[in-house]
Structure 1
Amino acid sequence: MSQETWEILCGMKTDDVELQLALQCAPLITGLKISNLLTISSDGFCLVEKIISGSFISMYPLLETEEKTVILLYQKERLEKYLRMMQVQKLLTEEGYPSCLLEDILPVLCEKYEAYAETKNDFPHELGLLLGYPPEDVEGFIRHRGKNCLCTGYWKVYADKERKLRLFEKYEYAKENLIQLLHYGLKMTEIIEICGSTAA
């Protein structure tokens, strides 16, 4: 992150929902990724719904507690297309999903994620697939139990390191841009609308 953006960030309220969307979901908002997780305080859930209402972004809450809410934000058509890839379907089947349809996967994933949150056992690593991570990296993570990766960025990389590092740089650049746009007065609804119209 550049010094200028860091200074801007230090002057902003970190619990602001719009800022958290920029920090956690810039790759999704700018069209670089098909999905992102957003973890916010539970009282911010309705505001997230309002911000993304009518946009190209869909949402599915994975975990709701008194303190926080974890939401999967995603571009529905792109995620559904990704889930139709043979390698992705194979991994989902291996992880016990009887169907590779998004509407069938999400409730099962939600149950697994909630169980993990309660026990801290058996994290559903297939969540990486719902986050659009390259299937070879999700498979590598599962097979190697998170060890022996080539590098770590937005996820642990097990193949094509240089391409993934360039992608991580783009994600960081997107995050900086959104932070700056918020700082200069744009609302997140406006940013999402602009990004949605350029993606269309």
Structure 2
Amino acid sequence: MVKCSDSCILAHKRNNGFIWWLVELLGPVLMGSKPSELLSFPKHDKHLLRKIDSIEKHMGKCKRITYRFFENKDGNLKVLFYNPKILDTCLRDYRNMKFLKTLGYPKQYNLDEYLRIIIDKMIGGNIPHEIGVFLGYPLKDIMGFIGHPSLKLTKVNGWRVYGDPRLSDERFNEFIEAKNKIKKLLEFNEPEKVLVSI
């Protein structure tokens, strides 16, 4: 078996920088600290087909992440990457589920149905406020963003933080720590290896 040297990894990274960037970006989803990540690609991106091919080729090998492609009404491509186990746990959280039900999500929880509803809303051209639940943001920050009167903007740290920032800071630090772990793994391994070994 031939081991890729540092110079080999750097050369490969230059040739397919997109997948390196993508794996690093998805680090928190891979590591289980974030339930999902939403990416958007303009329809006029001249490298769009290559990016789609790269996602299908590489992400299909990963057991922790599933993804769904969809186009919004403007024809831009969106991809929702998610860790089914972590997203399921997040959506089943009593407070999150109660909030989602007030927005018309079914009383009988089903992960695929909840995903269908959020994706249908985004296909219509809007990014609904509840996407924050799917992305793993604290519910208090989502409620504050919507305009809950008792929650005042405290700061911006990855997203808008409302009220007591401790939970938000903890969550943000978990995301950064996971991204840094993946970044470190990518220093010595190709993305394909990282995706199958996590």
**TM-score (norm: length of structure 1):** 0.72
Q: Gapped runs of 5+ residues in structure 1? A: 1-11, 117-121, 196-200
**Alignment equivalent of 2:71, drawn from 55, 63, 70:** 63
Counterpart Cα distance in 1 of 2:137 and 2:153: 14
C-alpha RMSD of matched pairs (Å): 3.1
**TM-score (norm: length of structure 2):** 0.73
Counterpart Cα distance in 1 of 2:15 and 2:142: 30
Q: Gapped runs of 5+ residues in structure 2? A: 1-12, 42-46
1:188 is matched with which residue?
191
Is structure 2 residue 117 aligned with structure 1 residue 111?
A: no
SS at match of 2:77: strand
1:25 is matched with which residue?
26
Percent identical: 25
Give the 3 Å change call, closer, same or farther, for CA 176–52 of structure 1 in structure 2: same
2:104 is matched with which residue?
96
Is structure 2 residue 46 aligned with structure 1 residue 45?
A: no
Code of the aligned partner of 1:167: R
Code of the aligned partner of 2:133: L
Q: Deviations over 1:97-141 (max 9, x none)?
A: 23532211222222211222xxxxx53111111112222222222
SS at match of 2:26: helix
Code of the aligned partner of 1:165: D
SS at match of 1:150: strand
Q: Deviations over 1:12-32 (max 9, x none)?
A: 759832133145322112222
- Higher mean alpha-carbon deviation, 77-86 vs 158-167, is at 158-167
Give the 3 Å change call, closer, same or farther, for CA 69–20 of structure 1 in structure 2: farther
SS at match of 2:79: strand
Q: CA deviation at 1:68?
A: 5.0
Counterpart Cα distance in 2 of 1:14 and 1:129: 35
Q: CA deviation at 1:37?
A: 1.6
Q: CA deviation at 1:159?
A: 4.2
Q: Deviations over 1:146-175 (max 9, x none)?
A: x83222223222244134224323433433
Code of the aligned partner of 2:123: E
Counterpart Cα distance in 2 of 1:164 and 1:45: 33
Code of the aligned partner of 1:42: L
